[in-house]
Each structure stands twice: as C-alpha cells, then as structure tokens.
Amino acid sequence: MLQFMLLFSRQGKLRLQKWYVPYQDKLKKKVTRELISTVLGRKPKMCNFLEWRDLKVVYKRYAKFHFCCAIEDTDNELLTLEIIHRYVELLDKYFGSVCELDIIFNFEKAYFMLDELLIGGEIQETSKKNVLKAIQAQDLLQEETEVNKSVLEELGLT
C-alpha cells in the first residue's frame, strides 16, 4: 500500500502531495524535506528504489518532475513504478504534454486524477480510458455549474 505520493520539481518545489496514512503536519514537512533532498541528491543512473526508515521509496523522474512514492517494505516496487507511469500518462493525455504550470494552475484536476486512480493508497482503476471519462464528466459538471451560477447572477438571485 502506498503511504504517500509526492510530486516535486528539479528545484525541490513541492507541487503535489497525497498522504494515505495519517502523519502529523510537522512530521509531514520533515519527511518531505528529507525525501526531496535525498532524491534530488541521487545521480541519474542510480536505482529508482531506496530503503528509507522502515519504508521503501520508489521515485521516477519525468521531464522536470520527480514522482516519489513511499510503500511498505513488503510491496512490489515495479508495480509502484507502473502506478507512477500510469499517473504520468493520465496527466499527459489530459493536459497535452504536461508541464509545471499545468500542475500549478490546475492542481485540483491533478488531485482529482490521482483520486480516480488510487483510493487509500491502493490502485482503484487501471483503465486510462475510464479515468479520463470520469474527469471529462467532472469537467462537464463544473461547466454546467458555472453556467447556472452566471444565469442566477443575471437574474439577481445570488
């Protein structure tokens, strides 16, 4: 089971974090800081798995992002790499070629995609097509809500 997932830039800026196990805020910050510095300090040719505390850390670099997941020591590292890759494919399909600004300005979409893919640290949906359908349905719902809100504002009912 995934303990948490972090997405950060090459400069060490945290762009997305999802915790599946409760941690105190102070510990979250410490863990995040430690892992970002550890992963960024590793050479590109080094293995994408490392043992850290009582967890395994699986990370992968895609363009300017590092995706980093912590898993229990009995979990499969290759499956975790596949989950990371699936998430990156979803981001790329939705945003075109995803860039840092897409994540910054559309972070709620990035979180929604992650929530459609994973629940409670376990894979929920393996089909990219089904995840993208859910995201498109959410986009339509959001657009309808905005249209209804503007109609109500025009009528002076808000």
Confidence label for 76 from pLDDT (cuts 50, 70 and 90): very high
Residue 128 phi, psi (nearest 5): -65, -35
Tokens representing residue 82 in the block: 């596949």
Please check the confidence at residue 158 and state whether its pLDDT lies above 70: no
Question: Mean per-residue pLDDT for 22-27?
Answer: 95
Please give the angle made by the CA atoms of 32, 122 and 58, to the nearest 5 degrees: 40
Share of the chain above pLDDT 70, in %: 98
pLDDT, one tens digit per residue, over 7-20 is 999 999 999 999 99
β-strands 118-119, 65-72 pairing? unpaired
* Size (the chain), residues: 158
Tokens representing residue 147 in the block: 């249209």
For the beta carbon of residue 136, count every other beta carbon within 10 angstroms: 11
pLDDT, one tens digit per residue, over 108-133 is 999 999 999 999 999 998 888 999 99
CA distances from 22 to 36, 54, 58, 108, 126 (A): 19, 16, 19, 21, 25
State residue 144's pLDDT score.
85
Question: Mean per-residue pLDDT for 71-77?
Answer: 94
Range in 48-52, 71-75, 136-140, 145-149 the model is least confident about:
145-149
CA distance 19 to 15: 14
Residue 9 near residue 65 (C-beta atoms within 8 A)? yes
